[in-house]
């Protein structure tokens, strides 16, 4: 029954925290962490934890794949230099700084590097949840950094753990080979699975089967990379970026109607569950601490948190000026941002799922049979740093106001461009397409009238209070109200037992489709 109790408590926590986050200006992630800590106080649930391999092999592939599918490959290419530097050099610098700090307060170098590697990467899930309202360029850079830097961090982590337990010996060639294998093998594995998935899905016409194929894809990429000891994280990310470019040509509208809501719901539940797990693990780590005093452990946690945050701030306010000394091209000057705006990137270095999974996977013993040095302290510090970095989200609104970020209308402008361009193409192709299909004159005129109406609405979209726009709003409101009346009449028939529940669901599904279509038909409505 323990598993069932956890499922119920987790569901209640998600609903309550989501409701509170809508009412109060507190990030849902912080509330979920608090909920996890409170759940850990229940005696029966004090030792309830997910195995770390479940986090790495079940949660991460799904979350990273969806993040990769929904990010902008164009913006990643435009900011490739920043993404590469932050996902490699910054990761190594953070791990080294944390390791030095940990060694200074008593950890051996091996465990210190394990701690540093676990805390080096930012978290894609936390960034996606907490930074949605930032400008597109800022969000894309943050998400791309957090998607790629896991590979670097996990290579460092594997080396640190292997050296500490006595399985590996550190040499320059060995480190170089592991990095090449992690990055090269991960990208190749992801690309291969992406190609296979593309070829399989383009031959499918069943939305359910295609949805299952899509669900299997990230796990297959992670599995293939893990089999050859490459980075499963990079395999999932590269596969997702590839599929984001090819699936719009092969995925039918019916499939997208099934896939998008499913993935949105699933990833929301998974990411929320991870934040609850962070709180649960932090509470458990406090209870299981034996190698040092609680006061000393909390002080060490504060020191490491300051190092993690401080390294990111130092990076944010030094590397841009160094790059400007090297690259003075006019095109790059146009992309520069001010010191105020860079503060947003400095405070969004959240830690999360990868750090938690890595530290929970630290072995309990060495090859010699001796306990892993200070493992309980490493787990406690990592959980504490995750919680404290997430608390930066409380400062994010004030930092955004202080940064005076320019209004980003680029997405809205590109949406308007796309709608106008595609509609003009359709209008120009009416006669030719009608001739090919043998459509009657009345049908052609009806379609021409509907498309012309949409085109006039797009042309008037910038005119507040335009009578055409008001007409369309009133039309949409009236149709939606009548659909609601039809739905009530349908329920009356069912309640009077004049129709069966099966009939109700089928007719209701048609009304739902019509409601969604009408709701989305107005280009002024999100």
CA dihedral angle for residue 313, residue 316, residue 319, residue 321, rounded to 10 degrees = -110
- C-alpha 489/C-alpha 75 separation (Å) is 49
| 157-163 average pLDDT score | 85
Residue-wise pLDDT for 96-110, tens only, equals 999 999 999 889 999
Output the pTM of the full model. 0.82
| 102-128 average pLDDT score | 87
Long-range Cβ contacts of 400-407 (<8 Å, 24+ apart):
400/133, 400/134, 400/344, 402/340, 402/343, 403/340, 403/341, 403/343, 403/344, 404/340, 404/341, 405/134, 405/135, 405/138, 405/341, 405/344, 406/135
Phi, psi (rounded to 5 degrees) for 367: -60, -30
Lowest-pLDDT choice from 61-75, 115-129, 287-301, 384-398: 115-129
Q: Is the pLDDT of residue 124 over 80?
A: no
- Coil, strand or helix at 371: strand
Q: Is the pLDDT of residue 526 over 50?
A: no
Residue-wise pLDDT for 307-327, tens only, equals 999 999 999 999 888 887 877
Residue 35 is encoded by which pair of tokens? Answer: 């909920």
* 496 Cβ neighbours under 8 A, 6+ residues apart: none
* 12 Cβ neighbours under 8 A, 6+ residues apart: none
Query: Over the chain, what is the mean pLDDT?
Result: 84
Q: Token match 């019509």: residue? A: 514
Residue 276 is encoded by which pair of tokens? Answer: 């609850």
- Rounded to the nearest angstrom, the gap between the alpha carbon of residue 314 and the centroid of all alpha carbons in its chain is 26
| 459-486 average pLDDT score | 70
Q: Is the pLDDT of residue 19 over 70?
A: yes
Residue-wise pLDDT for 392-432, tens only, equals 888 888 888 888 877 777 777 787 788 888 888 989 999 88
Residue 86 is encoded by which pair of tokens? Answer: 């932050």
Phi, psi (rounded to 5 degrees) for 221: -65, -45
With cut-offs at 50, 70 and 90, classify the pLDDT of residue 524. very low
- C-alpha 92/C-alpha 483 separation (Å) is 58
pLDDT at 468: 52
| Cβ atoms 353, 281 nearer than 8 A | no
């Amino acid at each position: 029954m323990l598993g069932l109790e956890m499922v119920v408590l987790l569901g209640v926590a998600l609903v309550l925290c989501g409701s509170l986050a809508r009412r109060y200006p507190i990030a849902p992630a912080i509330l979920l962490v608090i909920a996890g800590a409170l759940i850990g106080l229940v005696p029966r649930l004090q030792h309830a934890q997910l195995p770390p391999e479940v986090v790495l092999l079940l949660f991460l592939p799904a979350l990273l794949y969806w993040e990769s599918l929904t990010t902008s490959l164009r913006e990643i290419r435009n900011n490739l230099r920043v993404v590469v530097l932050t996902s490699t050099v910054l990761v190594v610098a953070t791990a080294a700084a944390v390791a030095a700090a940990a060694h200074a307060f008593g950890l051996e170098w091996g465990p210190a590097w394990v701690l540093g590697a676990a805390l080096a990467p930012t978290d894609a899930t936390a960034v996606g949840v907490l930074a949605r309202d930032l400008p597109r360029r800022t969000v894309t850079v943050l998400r791309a950094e957090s998607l790629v830097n896991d590979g670097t961090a996990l290579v460092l982590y594997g080396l640190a753990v292997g050296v500490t337990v006595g399985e590996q010996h550190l040499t320059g060639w060995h480190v170089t080979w592991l990095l090449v294998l992690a990055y090269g093998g991960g990208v190749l594995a992801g690309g291969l699975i992406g190609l296979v998935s593309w070829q399989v899905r383009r031959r499918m016409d069943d939305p359910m089967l295609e949805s299952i194929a899509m669900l299997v894809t990230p796990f297959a990429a992670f599995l293939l990379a893990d089999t050859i000891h490459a980075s499963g994280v990079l395999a999932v990310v590269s596969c997702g970026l590839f599929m984001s470019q090819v699936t719009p040509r092969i995925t039918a509208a019916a499939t997208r109607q099934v896939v998008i809501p499913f993935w949105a719901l699933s990833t929301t539940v998974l990411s929320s569950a991870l934040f609850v797990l962070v709180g649960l693990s932090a509470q458990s780590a406090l209870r299981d601490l034996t190698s040092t005093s609680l006061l000393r452990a909390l002080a060490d946690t504060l020191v490491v948190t300051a190092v993690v945050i401080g390294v990111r701030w130092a990076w944010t306010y030094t590397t841009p000026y160094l790059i400007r000394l090297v690259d003075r091209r006019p095109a790059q000057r146009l992309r520069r941002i001010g010191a105020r705006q860079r503060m947003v990137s400095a405070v969004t270095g959240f830690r999360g799922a990868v750090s938690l999974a890595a530290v929970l996977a630290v072995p309990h013993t060495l090859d010699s049979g001796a306990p892993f040095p200070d493992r309980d302290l490493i787990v406690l510090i990592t959980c504490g740093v995750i919680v404290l970095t997430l608390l930066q989200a409380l400062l994010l609104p004030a930092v955004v106001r202080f940064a005076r970020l320019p209004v980003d209308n680029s997405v809205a402008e590109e949406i308007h461009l796309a709608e106008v361009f595609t509609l003009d193409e359709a209008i120009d192709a009416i006669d030719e397409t009608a001739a090919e299909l043998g459509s009657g004159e009345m049908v052609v005129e009806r379609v021409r009238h509907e498309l012309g109406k949409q085109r006039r609405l797009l042309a008037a979209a910038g005119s507040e209070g335009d009578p055409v726009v008001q007409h369309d709003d009133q039309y949409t409101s009236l149709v939606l109200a009548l659909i609601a009346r039809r739905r009530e009449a349908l329920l009356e028939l069912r309640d009077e037992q004049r129709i069966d529940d099966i009939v109700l669901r089928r007719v209701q599904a048609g009304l739902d489709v019509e409601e969604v279509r009408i709701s989305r038909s107005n280009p002024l409505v999100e």
